[in-house]
A and B are shown apart, each in its own frame.
Chain A
Amino acid sequence: MDSYDAPQSTPRQSASSRPENCFIGATPLQKRLESVRKQTPFVPTPPRRKIPQCSQLQEDVDPQKVAFLLHKQWTLYSLTPLYKFSYTHLKEYSRLLSAFIVAEKQKGLAVEVGEDFNIKVIFSTLLGMKGTQKDSEAFLVQILSKSQLPSENREGKVLWTGWFCCIFGDSLLETVSEDFTCLPLFLANGAESNTAIIGTWFEKTFDCNFSPLAINAFNLSWMAAMWTACKMDRYMAATEFLWSVPCSPQSLDISYAIHPEDAKALWDSVHKTPGEVTQEEVDLFMDCLYSHFHRHFKIHLSATRLVRVSTSVASAHTDGRIKILCHKYLIGVLAYLTELAIFQIE
């Protein structure tokens, strides 16, 4: 198989010399495999993370588009790298995708690509929505309904929106070749049936795979801590936690709301390393909340399941739904979600 012509008598020597040059010849797949083995499966998170900061690149993003992304409930998916995706073909993609959607909706009927339908698909890039320059450009897909009446607004109503992004996705980028575009985080808003159709099109066209991204309680507490740590000029909402107690006939939900400034004060009291959040701090922060609750209600919250966290920065549900509220920390929130998505892909 190898054209490489090494003397047959010395394979053992060549084997022993391999460690030095293994990085030169390492292909993306090999790097990937090494990273797979090195991962400890149950602790996806490094013991410390940076507190979200306002990103420089984010300044370039069209404020109108950012506003469009905020205050909306997004369902999260992880997405494997897109094969042979090209930013120069976005127009073409919208043509094909709209024909695909129409064909799917009226199963059995063939439709001509490029025909005038009553829906419109728009692909557009979200310039600047990235953590580093190396991150792939984020892009947005919108489905609009075209109104039949010419008198009404020609643009029509937005039926479905989805966007693809990658914020600080270096670990994934390192392991793929240039045929791939890494946008591991996909966020969708709109009917699930539409998400399914559009997902299918992407999967067929770019040989990728969507998978719902759930957020477990462990990661939710990290979010709670990191978002509480964010400096805010003005708090818009209370810091709220929702725990679920599995009991019959109906599960019991415990909601726990704190004034955001109290939460911040609590955080400041447990926080030591400036600019960073550590695992101990997260545990301590949550333990304080638990013990406070226990003092008043004699309920051990640690024995229940954390299902939702909402702060002034963002709110997240364990089912994999997120709503981002604060413009300033958009990138920071997305960076953590990207990390979770990459962990799920690998």
Chain B
Amino acid sequence: MLPQKRVKNSQAQNNTSQGSNSRQTKLSAWREKQDQSDSKSISKHGQKSPVEDYEHADDQAEDTLQIAVGYFEKGPIKTSQNKGKTLEKHLKTVEDVAWKNGLAPEEIDILLNVALSGKFGNAINTRLLKCMIPATLILEDSVVKAVSWLCVGKCSGSIKVLFYRWLVAMFDFIDHKEQINLLYGFFFASLQDDALCPYVCHFLYLLTKKENVKPFRVRKLLDLQAKMGMQPHLQALLSLYKFFVPALISVSLPVRKKIYFKNSENLWKMALIAVRQRNQGPSPEPLKLMLGPANVRSLKRKCSSHSLIPVLNSNSYTEQCGKKEISLSDCLSNTGSFPLEQLQSFPQLLQNIHRLEVPSQMGSVLNNSLLLHYINCVRDESILLRLYYWLSQTLQEECVWSKVNNYDRGKEFANFLDTIIRAESFLQEGFYSCEAFLYKSIPLWDGFSCRSQFLQLVSWIPFSSFSEVKPLLLDHLAQLFFTSTIYFKCSVLHSLKELLQNWLLWLSMDIHKPMMNSPLETTLGGSMNSLSKLIDYVGWLSTIAMRLEGNSIFLLHFILDFYEKVCDIYINYDLPLVVLFPPGVFYPALLSLDTTVLNQLCYIMHRYRKNLSAAKKNELQQKAKPQFSFSSKTYEEFNHYLIAMVGCLWTSKPFEKGICIDPQILEKAGVAEYKSSLNLVHHPSLLSYAVSFLLQESPEEGTLNVSSIRGKKWNWYLDYLFSEGLQGLQLFIRSNIHRSSIPLIREHIPQQY
């Protein structure tokens, strides 16, 4: 709203004579001010705030600014005696306001005209130009008018240079550029001026569009290059031209050349920051500006980066080839394709997805999340094939362990793999090239180089039949697994857990939509079979690893993490599968010395129970078409474990059902009184809790008798355990054991199926 008001003011100034006008404008401004403060005072209940005072001062500055602008517009008054003084005063006013708040578009329009028209001296013009700082934006029209002054020959060379520097610096704040672009030829002609050339180059670099690139201009630039030698600014413009029309020009830039232009913005650095901050405010207009071409430059600068992954470039060459044949319809319909380099945001992607130019080298999408979105939904096979081939061959060639002399490039390769893994986790989908790479290279892998990357790639293997993956990958991995340290074992188990999770997600998505784009002709039964084989395989690995590592608790944590995923498949992923852990995992966990392990085991058993009950319920409901009924063996197995657990922890009757140990053996071992030694009180991982509990209960008692925890105390003890954070245990007991409020009942029977 404010700028409009100012327009009125300046018009008023134009219409009346200088002398009386000042008072009038002041008055009108005062009146409007009055209106504003009226409305404000209503809202603020008449309280005069310091803000208003400040605004008042601001307002006065604005008024003097109006006078100053008027003064400059009028031109120097020759007769005036203290001409220098007045001029200085007004100039100072303009400078102050400009650097503090920026100038309104209309003020810039007037002052820019003044500065370039040569009404004042060179020094004044320079100072004026330097303070052409917009409050928000600059009107395109002002620029066009200013450019017209350049032709008249009234301004000196230094002013012209300054003007171009100003244009470059303020380019992003000019509201439109269509009219300016029409003057392209004029700017281009200015390249001939040696002094102007670098600045004009920079300006053209910002201004050039594809249609501006013409053979005759290319030739002219090449002539200039021949005359002036290898100039960075010319190189920049030429490479931009090449970028738009590669068939016209060939240019290759020296590696590590990053800066083409001297920084023209230096003069206005602080002011530019201020303007940008102002523009990022809530007003909608400047926001649009920021999304505009402001960010384009950084992308173009990437030209000379050096990496395995190709730089993003539009597919402009093949474009050119096609154009020769079918250009007319293209021209008429005006459906130009959208250059990749302009793609900055997701909304842009959505708007232009139908006319997006695909990159000339598909590998470049790895670094660009927007394009990853694009290839994720695109149906064009050739795009995927291009990526597939590039990635396959690059992985194979760069792989550090398959070639002896590649080892010094380990870091680079690891970074490359990291990029791929980032892309895979972004897409939540593995690349088939990586799968093939794993199969080909695992026989040669030492288990050490790029270990974390390698194992992460394993977890992104796309879902496939387990019997195919096993001989190609897992058998090799198992060899390394058994012969490596416990840390390696844990990492492998972790990545297999991730693999299982990815497969589960994939299947749970896939089952609920038609199987059109599933890469393998698998039935649901086949898929479930594959999954259960994978889980069994990990169970086998875990059992042996537990033996090899002497029932390490550390390892057991990783194994149980895996089963925490497994036990919830039916409910969490809606897949008809429940696979239990092998005894080699269950018993070490049950008899573990570590409370967290026991707690986690309880939690897993609790979840198994939930999943199995849900499955049972569904089965009963859908009697008509039982698609997947679990074999009774699964239930039996679960009950078996459950009885063993309850027998140990709760009823103090271990080893009666479930696992059976001949009492004679126990006697020989000197543990005649074994029955209660694994219950919640005496269990080696819980004994310390029992002791703390007793100490808390009766701190003064000299001797502690943990066997005294029974009856009512047993229940208190349970509550104590739960309060200590053993949530898994709590859930397990709640769901499996009916705790009656009457104490002394320890012979609860676990629910069975």
Contact = CB atoms under 8 A, between A and B. Distances in A.
B30 interface: no
B512 interface: yes
A113 interface: yes
A12 interface: yes
Contacts of B219: 112
B393 A15 contact: no
A89 interface: yes
Nearest to A83: B386
A37 B468 contact: yes
Contact of B521 (A19, A110, A177): A19
A113 B249 contact: yes
A92 B385 contact: no
Contact of A205 (B235, B317, B513): B317
B392 A113 contact: no
Interface string B236-256: 001100100011111111100
Interface stretch (A96-104, A132-140, A235-243, A325-333): A96-104
Interface in A1-46: 1-2, 4, 6, 8, 11-12, 14-16, 18-19, 22, 25, 27-30, 32-34, 36-37, 39-42
Contact of B385 (A28, A42, A103, A110): A28
- Residue in B252, B317, B382, B386 whose Cβ sees the most chain A Cβ within 10 Å: B252
Interface stretch (B106-114, B141-149, B431-439, B613-621): B431-439
A204 B523 contact: no
Contact of A84 (B225, B318, B513): B318
B251 A180 contact: no
Interface stretch (A207-215, A273-281, A294-302, A306-314): A207-215
B443 interface: yes
B514 A4 contact: yes
A323 to B, nearest CB: 24
Contacts of B440: 41
Contact of B249 (A2, A36, A107, A110): A110
Contacts of A96: 246-247, 250, 317
B498 to A, nearest CB: 21
Nearest to B468: A37
Contact of A1 (B257, B377, B443): B377
B254 A107 contact: yes
B323 to A, nearest CB: 12
Interface string A212-230: 1000000000000000000
B397 interface: yes
Given A11-B513, A28-B385, A41-B472, A103 B252 contact: yes
A35 B525 CA distance: 23
A52 interface: no
A103 B250 contact: yes
Contact of B524 (A16, A40, A41, A81): A16
B435 A36 contact: yes
Contacts of B472: 37, 40-41
Contacts of B310: 203-204
B361 A203 contact: yes
Contacts, number: 173
Contacts of A33: 432, 519
Contacts of B453: none
Contacts of B390: 80, 207-209
A80 B393 contact: yes
B390 to A, nearest CB: 5
Given A41-B472, A83-B386, A109-B230, A103 B381 contact: no
B513 A2 contact: yes
Dominant SS among interface residues on chain B: helix
Interface residues of B, number: 68
Residues of A in contact with B, size category = 35 or more
Nearest to A79: B393
A84 to B, nearest CB: 5
A86 interface: yes
B691 interface: no
B352 interface: no
Given A110-B238, A207-B360, A100 B250 contact: yes
B256 to A, nearest CB: 11
A162 to B, nearest CB: 18
B583 to A, nearest CB: 33
Contact of A36 (B394, B432, B523): B432
Contacts of B251: 103, 109-111
Nearest to A1: B377
A205 B252 contact: no
A78 interface: yes
Given A18-B518, A37-B468, A113-B247, A108 B382 contact: no
Interface string B502-530: 00000000011111111111111100000
Contact of A208 (B252, B381, B389, B514): B389
Contacts of B519: 30, 33
B222 interface: yes
A346 interface: yes
A177 B252 contact: no
Residue among B386, B439, B443 with max Cβ neighbours from chain A (10 Å): B386
A16 B514 CA distance: 11
Contacts of A12: 511, 523-524, 627
B222 A111 contact: yes
B120 interface: no
Interface string A166-191: 00000000001101100000000000
Given A108-B254, A112-B218, A113-B249, A209 B389 contact: yes
Interface centre among A11, A78, A100 (most CB of B within 10 A): A11
Nearest to B317: A205
B221 interface: yes
A110 B221 contact: yes
Contacts of A8: 512
A108 B393 contact: no
A141 interface: no
A28 B432 contact: no
A4 to B, nearest CB: 5
B382 A89 contact: no
Given A33-B519, A112-B219, A81 B385 contact: yes
Nearest to B242: A110
Nearest to B377: A1
A215 to B, nearest CB: 14
B362 interface: yes
B655 interface: no
Contacts of A1: 377, 513, 517
Interface string B345-362: 000000000000000111
A203 B313 CA distance: 12
A141 B397 CA distance: 24
B521 A22 contact: yes
A345 interface: yes
A190 B317 CA distance: 27
Contacts of A27: 381
Contact of A18 (B222, B377, B515): B515
A15 B250 contact: no
A344 interface: yes
Contacts of A209: 389-390, 393-394
Contacts of B478: none
B396 interface: yes
Contact of A346 (B392, B522, B524): B392
Nearest to B464: A37
A89 B321 contact: yes
Nearest to A84: B318
Contacts of B338: none
Given A96-B247, A113-B248, 4 more contacts: A108-B230, A110-B235, A177-B381, A207-B386
- Smallest CB-CB A-B distances: 8 pairs: A110-B251, A99-B250, A80-B389, A110-B238, A6-B514, A103-B250, A22-B521, A16-B523
20 contacts: A4-B516, A15-B515, A18-B521, A19-B521, A80-B393, A84-B321, A89-B321, A96-B247, A103-B251, A104-B252, A107-B253, A110-B234, A110-B249, A111-B250, A111-B251, A112-B222, A203-B310, A209-B393, A211-B393, A345-B393
